[in-house]
Amino acid sequence: MAEPTSIDGLLAEGQRQIAICNGCRYCEGYCAVFPAMERLPVVGAGDLTYLANLCHDCRACYQACMYAPPHPFGVEIPKLMSEARERSYSEFARPRWFARWFTAGPRAVAALTLAGALVFAFLAWAAGRARGIFAPTESTRTFFDVIPYGLMLVPSLLLTAFLLAVIVWGFIDFQRASRGASHLGARVWLSGLAEVATLRWMRGGGDDCYYPAIERSSPLRRRFHHLTAYGFLAALVSTSLASFYHNVLDLPAPYPVLHPVVLFGLVGGIGMTVGTTGLLWLKARAAPLQARREALLNSSFLVSLNLASTSGLFLLALRDTPAMGALLVLHLGTIVALYVTAPYGKFVHIVYRTAAVLRSAAERAADEAAGGRSAREPAALGRPASTRLP
């Protein structure tokens, strides 16, 4: 596929490839994308966004495609979807002016980590605890001896609010543009969220991802992704629990190793470190079927997560040593970078993918309600979807 130069170019190329898929339909058993294509009489820009975020880049369709290059039809669905996804990330990043001015490349991650660490170092200094960072004394036993609780809490709350606001904003815009289903029944929510939670579409039609090598499928990517995602969740639980213990139960840190806060943090940190390292390792070996910018956003996000979790683990391991103060400041810096870059990087795929999977689940439920045949499926005389005589 030639690199399209404009949104119109990408849409026209998308329509061309999707028309071929719709005439073929050999891949409809792999994922939700192909049945979703079949329901579209005309593919608009919003539809392409929807399809792109429904695609999990498992590459099963690519290895199965007799029209992939060098065939002159040049069908490369994973690449097309990657280009369109990347477009949607920048299109729905809010606020727009901020997003335009700022993208979450590796340099941004590094710069923000550094800036975040400096801010916290400054806060520590302002609170008169600067010595806790580099020259710990007997009295710097806990994190709050380095940075007072309030100074840690307020920035995190602000960052979290920023992240949530930007994400909800993007989600709403995305739903509107991709014509996401607005009224989802409980069943659709349940089945859709279950598909998201299990990474259903990374299993293909029973095959795993053809990743990193196109030649054979492997469950590794799904497993590393699970480790990363559930590791992230566990870390969130740990943080929330910590503030619950601190504020509600009035039991401030540090906690013993077998304490739920520490256990969740430990499990989450290990999961994320192993998961992101694994994903980066696979990525380095993967066939080049991703838009260059999406690949960049992807690695930056993985590196950012990896820095946050790894520094967190070190902090836990070395919290009783003189290195604790410096590690804490560094760790907080990585968290700042993670939170600030999240809405402009690969993190948002969680939001858009969920929205897309929900729309697909709603469409599938509607098909079923309509007696197992989608409204736009051609009549028997034409071609029932799978009847391919030679």
Ligand X SMILES: Cc1cc2nc3c(=O)[nH]c(=O)nc-3n(C[C@H](O)[C@H](O)[C@H](O)COP(=O)(O)OP(=O)(O)OC[C@H]3O[C@@H](n4cnc5c(N)ncnc54)[C@H](O)[C@@H]3O)c2cc1C
Kindly list the residues in this chain that would bind ligand X in the complex (CB under 6 A): 388, 390
Q: Which is nearer to ligand SF4, 27 or 234 (CB)?
A: 27
Q: What is the DSSP letter of 323?
A: T
- Taking the complex as a whole, the smallest distance from the CB of residue 45 to other proteins amounts, in Å, to 18
The alpha carbon of 264 is separated from its chain's Cα centroid by a whole number of angstroms, namely 21
d(CA 351, CA 339): 15
d(CA 348, CA 166): 10
CA distance readout (Å), 33 to 96, 317, 356? 28, 44, 10
Can you tell me which of 249, 284, 369, 380 binds other proteins, judged by CB under 8 A? 380
d(CA 170, CA 176): 10
Q: Which is nearer to other proteins, 46 or 74 (CB)?
A: 74
Q: Which is nearer to ligand SF4, 123 or 282 (CB)?
A: 282
Query: Residues 156-195: x/- map of binding to other proteins (CB under 8 A)?
Result: ----------------------------------------
Residue 379 near which of ligand X, ligand SF4, other proteins, none (CB within 5-8 Å, type-dependent): other proteins
Can you tell me which of 4, 24, 142, 274 binds other proteins, judged by CB under 8 A? 24
Residue 222 burial (CB < 10 Å; 0-12/13-18/19+)?
buried
- Taking the complex as a whole, the smallest distance from the CB of residue 17 to ligand X amounts, in Å, to 19
Q: Which is nearer to other proteins, 75 or 307 (CB)?
A: 75
Task: Check residue 133 for interaction with ligand SF4 (CB under 6 A).
Answer: no
d(CA 331, CA 315): 8
- Taking the complex as a whole, the smallest distance from the CB of residue 389 to ligand X amounts, in Å, to 7
Residue 55 near which of other proteins, ligand SF4, ligand X, none (CB within 5-8 Å, type-dependent): ligand SF4
Radius of gyration of the chain (CA): 23
Packed helices 324-341 and 292-317: angle between N→C axes, nearest 10 degrees? 150
- Taking the complex as a whole, the smallest distance from the CB of residue 37 to ligand SF4 amounts, in Å, to 8
End-to-end alpha carbon distance in the chain = 27
d(CA 213, CA 209): 9
Q: Which is nearer to ligand SF4, 41 or 371 (CB)?
A: 41
- Taking the complex as a whole, the smallest distance from the CB of residue 85 to ligand SF4 amounts, in Å, to 10
Question: Measuring CA to CA, which residue among 149, 127, 146 is closest to residue 136?
Answer: 146
Task: Check residue 1 for interaction with ligand SF4 (CB under 6 A).
Answer: no
Task: Check residue 174 for interaction with ligand SF4 (CB under 6 A).
Answer: no
Q: What is the DSSP letter of 6?
A: S
Can you tell me which of 91, 145, 173, 377 binds other proteins, judged by CB under 8 A? 377
d(CA 182, CA 350): 18
Query: Residues 60-79: x/- map of binding to ligand SF4 (CB under 6 A)?
Result: xx--xx-x-------x-xx-
Residue 383 near which of other proteins, ligand SF4, ligand X, none (CB within 5-8 Å, type-dependent): other proteins
- Taking the complex as a whole, the smallest distance from the CB of residue 172 to ligand SF4 amounts, in Å, to 25
Q: What angle do CA 357, 191, 161 make, to 5 degrees?
A: 60
d(CA 112, CA 336): 7
Residues 6+ positions from 84 with CB-CB distance below 8 Å:
10, 14, 48, 49, 51, 52
- Taking the complex as a whole, the smallest distance from the CB of residue 359 to other proteins amounts, in Å, to 19
Provide the token pair at 235: 């870390």
> Which residue in the shown chain puts its C-beta closest to ligand X?
390
Q: Which is nearer to ligand SF4, 150 or 205 (CB)?
A: 205
d(CA 247, CA 241): 10
**CA dihedral sign, ordered 268, 271, 277, 279:** negative
CB-CB neighbours of 238 under 10 Å: 22
Task: Check residue 9 for interaction with other proteins (CB under 8 A).
Answer: no
Where along the sequence are the contacts to other proteins (CB under 8 A)? Answer: 19-20, 22-30, 35, 41, 60-61, 63-67, 70-73, 205-207, 215-216, 367-368, 372-373, 376-390
Could you list the residues that contact ligand SF4 (CB under 6 A)? 20-21, 24-27, 30-31, 33-34, 55-61, 64-65, 67, 75, 77-78, 81, 201
